[in-house]
Amino acid sequence: MSQNASEQLFARARELIPGGVNSPVRAFRSVGGAPFFVKAARGARLVTADDRELIDFVCTWGPAIHGHNHPRIRAAIAAALEHGTSFGTPNPLEVEMAELITRFVPSIRKVRMCSSGTEATMSAIRLARGFTGRDKIIKFSGCYHGHSDSLLIKAGSGALTHGNPDSAGVPASFARETLVLPYNDRAALEAAFAAHPAQVASVIIEPYCGNVGFIMPDPGYLAFLREITRREGTVLIFDEVMTGFRIARGGVQEREGITPDLTCLGKIIGGGLPVGAFGGRADIMDHLAPLGPVYQAGTLSGNPLAMAAGIAGLRLLEETNPYGRLEALGSRLREAVLDACRTKGIPVQFPQCGSMFSIFFTDTPVRDYATALRGDAKLFGRFFHGSLQRGVYLAPSAYEAGFLSTAHEGADIDQACAALSAAIAAL
């Protein structure tokens, strides 16, 4: 392709695809400029349509924990492809996947596969409502759970107000059933339950936030959340679409020692192919059709190619146990950025746990949506483009998590740390 291949592709895409992209953050609107197009990926690197190689800290937004185009995952897909792409019937691989998930995540006794994280969270909410016979749900500002109507809600004017639609096309009547509270605020949770006794079907949370940047809970907050939901007869849903199998083999719930009622999964369990899953307590899951009255279905649920890729990726995690290595890589990146910012005199927060991280240009510790917004987004935009010019691709938003993979070890992490340090020095 020509030197301006990405520009040409983007011009063509804008004529046919809204905004020229099939997912909004890809448009680079929050950092400025036009997106590049990728024609290949391997290890820790992307190859653009213009033949540039970039060290990638987006990792296809989480699934590529083993790096891109891992030979074992590719071989598993090729072997499955020999037998067909889709059957529309049960297949052996979905049973194997269910066995792996329930073994890795003990809170999940039964699991239902679907094709996206949005499907998983949407279905888990419906199931919680059907199980409890209640309508209201609680979510938290800054936690994103896909784009279904009940969950695409922003905060109201106060902690006890109902949410408001966060998108055109979401009826206000749907939003009235969603309470949006600040993350890490115990008093807000107590007040919400007091104001709506025996009305809250579920609390859904990213136990470690990944969609307003990476934010971790205050010590004891998740245990408090488990205690209050149990007391109120409310279904606790952990959205571990990002963190599942990435923060630890059993996700945040393993690391924190918390047992939710339902868990939503995705990303890594598809090995880079479209996938989702939700599961948890057997008595709740048995309310799903065909056993119970809560309907959920999907033509491509348990797709054999996605199951084969995911099984290969999960088995590789089991065999290699890479979490110590990933923690070391994350710490290395964190120290490089902190050192460069100290030298330059730029205030920065770098929350990081294992292979997830964020960079906020602020002197305020980030613990919720409001403090995340105090970060200097314009400065981040300059840093993003400075990093990109030096061969490092970060998430194109000041409010998205970054991801590492085992493929970043060695020369790639050395080069990336040097590039990010240079980008900060140039600010």
Cβ(419)–Cβ(391) under 8 Å? yes
Distance CA 399, CA 51 (A): 28
The CATH number given to whatever domain includes residue 54 is 3.90.1150.10
Residue 152's pLDDT band, with cuts at 50, 70 and 90, is: confident
Residue 247's pLDDT band, with cuts at 50, 70 and 90, is: very high
Average pLDDT (107-126) is 97
> For the whole model, what pTM was predicted?
0.96
Domain that holds residue 202: 71-319
Residue 211 CB burial class (10 angstroms; 0-12, 13-18, ≥19)? buried
- Beta-strand relationship, 262-266 and 235-239: parallel
- Whether 1 has a pLDDT exceeding 70, the answer reads no
Average pLDDT (20-26) is 90
Annotated catalytic residue 399: no
Annotated catalytic residue 267: yes
pLDDT at residue number 151: 84
Those residues with Cβ within 8 angstroms of residue 353's Cβ, 6 or more apart along the chain or in another chain:
208, 214, 216, 247, 255, 327, 330
Point out the catalytic residue in the list 136, 261, 267, 323: 267
- Whether 319 has a pLDDT exceeding 80, the answer reads yes
Average pLDDT (270-283) is 97
In the listed set 319, 351, 373, which residue is the last one of a domain according to the structure? 319
Go through the chain and tell me how many residues it has. Answer: 427
pLDDT at residue number 115: 97
- Beta-strand relationship, 178-181 and 200-205: unpaired
Same domain for 169 and 259, yes or no, is yes
Point out the catalytic residue in the list 185, 239, 261, 368: 239
Query: Which residue type occupies 337?
Result: V
Same domain for 136 and 266, yes or no, is yes
Domain count for the chain, please give it.
2
Residue 157's pLDDT band, with cuts at 50, 70 and 90, is: very low
In the listed set 299, 319, 339, which residue is the last one of a domain according to the structure? 319
Buried/exposed code over 320-337 (b: 16+ C-beta within 10 A; e: otherwise) = eebbebbeebbebbbebb
Annotated catalytic residue 144: yes
Same domain for 219 and 281, yes or no, is yes
The CATH number given to whatever domain includes residue 93 is 3.40.640.10
Q: Which phi-psi region, left, alpha or beta, contains residue 420 (left: φ > 0; alpha: ψ -120 to 50)?
A: alpha
Same domain for 233 and 349, yes or no, is no
